[in-house]
Structure 1
């Protein structure tokens, strides 16, 4: 049983929730009109984990044949046949059902919007079959996180949550472009679409930088529109900007060897740093 749980954890890349969870917590701190109860925070985070799990599992199920041929992914449990198709289908059904149920407990508007979230989660794994911009589809998924937090907390969608959504969307789209560079040659051979396939490695790096520039301006807009933002927020934004610059300096057209460091380590720092900055800015207004 423990081995199977390890396989399931590897399928959904549970450790990658470090990109989404701190950002969701930061969104709660920024968007809350009054402190929510611990139960509400738990439900929001649980819904996020369940929705992400459903999307990842559907991605694994749909890409099984590709993953079995890709040197980077052929050792993954589903590609080796260690996790059966029926298991993945069952996990998808359980994740989606639990996500919708949790949405019902949050509020009526969250429940009504939950099917649209599920639909978008299922569109993303298909995107690389029909568009060169699957990274933007993934960004759209993450765009929904601050929106969902606003709906859960306030049953509304504010300008601040939209700016947070734009920041998160282009942050994720940018680093997903960098991550996809690992599969550039494979995607070319298999006829799969991505920004690196469409524009080449050099063009993809430029677009990733541009997307992260949008992230900076969106987070700046959050600070200007969020009435409680103080000097700590803007100093923290400077630190995040330096991390983004460092991330792009790690990778060049001639040297892609540090993609994993840029993807996981640096972006994990960015997400955690943003939450800490927002929390301190709220607790210690300066």
Structure 2
């Protein structure tokens, strides 16, 4: 049972949280924080993030054993078979479909695009140094899906929120990729951490600045209160802290910086919530 939880990363919910926060931002900014919508999307995030992890581990089953951080994943260490993984994926997708059918048809279209992005993401690191952008897109589909399911329109706030989330995702997933950079170079896996090279910290910083500016504009467009801008101030302080953590490119500190982004998402949400 533990192996299945590990396969779906339910023992390490950071990925679920990083996907959940932007979805909650969208629900509250769309002014539709009903129990029904919130429950459907929270469950959808958990199920689809779990499915994405299964797809990722299946795609990387021949590589994970050579990477320090991933060598103990269930498929890599032989705790589960490929058939086990595929059946787990099938069950998760059935649950996701059940949730999707409770929403409108416009949501179905966006869900198809989200699923396509989820399927291709694990393979992007073989062909491009920009898989983090694909992940950013994958982690942003929940935003227009919220607007589709609630107001059936896509205002400027929706797309600015997507843009901010993509920039933020590329920043924190580059921090994550910095942990694996040495191993990835050995086995031929590509990432923005490798592409950016010695400019990695600078580019992460620029992406963080763009994220904050985009979120500031969203606050202006939606006439959010002082609480929101206090949340953004805390986000800025957290980004500065992350820059300090990654300054020497130490693996453990880069991973700590990545984990710190859970607080970033939380601060933005609390700012919106109290506005």
> After TM superposition, is the score higher than 0.5?
yes
RMSD between aligned alpha carbons?
A: 1.8
Output the CA distance in 2 between the equivalents of 1:12 and 1:215. 29
Partner in structure 1 of residue 253 of structure 2: 258
* Greater Cα offset, 12-21 or 123-132: 12-21
Normalised to the residue count of structure 2, the TM-score between the two structures is: 0.93
Instruction: Kindly report which structure 2 residues correspond to 1:218-233, keeping only aligned pairs within 5 A, or say none.
Output: 218-227=214-223, 229-233=224-228
| Structure 1 unaligned spans of 5+ | 282-286
**Residue 266 of structure 2 is aligned to residue 272 of structure 1:** yes
Shift of 1:125: 0.5
Q: Which residue of 1 aligns with 2:122?
A: 125
Say whether residues 1:192 and 2:186 are aligned partners: no
Partner residue in 2 for 1:103: 100
List aligned pairs for 1:166-177, cutoff 5 A: 166-177=163-174
Runs of 4+ residues deviating >4 angstroms: none
Judged with a 3 Å threshold, the aligned counterparts in structure 2 of structure 1 residues 139 and 190 are, in CA distance, closer, same or farther, namely same
Q: 1:8/1:186 Cα in 2 relative to 1: closer, same or farther (>3 Å)?
A: closer
Distance 2:3 2:188 in 1: 33
List per-residue Cα deviations over 1:198-245 (Å, max 9, x = no partner): 232x22222211111111111011111113x11111121111111111
The count of corresponding residues between Structure 1 and Structure 2 is 275
Cα distance in structure 1, aligned partners of 2:179 and 2:3: 28
Q: Which stretch shows the higher mean deviation, 248-257 or 268-277?
A: 248-257
Q: Matches of residues 85-164 of structure 1 in structure 2 within 5 Å?
A: 85-164=82-161
Q: Aligned with 2:205: secondary structure?
A: helix
Distance 1:108 1:72, change over 3 A: same
Give 1:26's aligned residue. 25
How far apart, in 1, do the equivalents of 2:178 and 2:165 lie? 20
Measure, in 1, the Cα distance between the counterparts of 2:50 and 2:221. Answer: 32
- State whether residues 11 and 60 of structure 1, in contact with CA within 8 Å, keep that contact through their aligned partners in structure 2: no
Q: 2-side partners of 1:22 and 1:197: how far apart?
A: 27
Distance in 2 separating the partners of 1:255 and 1:51: 31
Q: CA deviation at 1:113?
A: 2.4
- The residue aligned with 1:62 is 59
Residue deviations 1:99-128 (CA, integer Å, cap 9, x gap): 233222111111122211100011111111
Contact kept, 8 Å, 1:23 with 1:272, in 2: the verdict is no
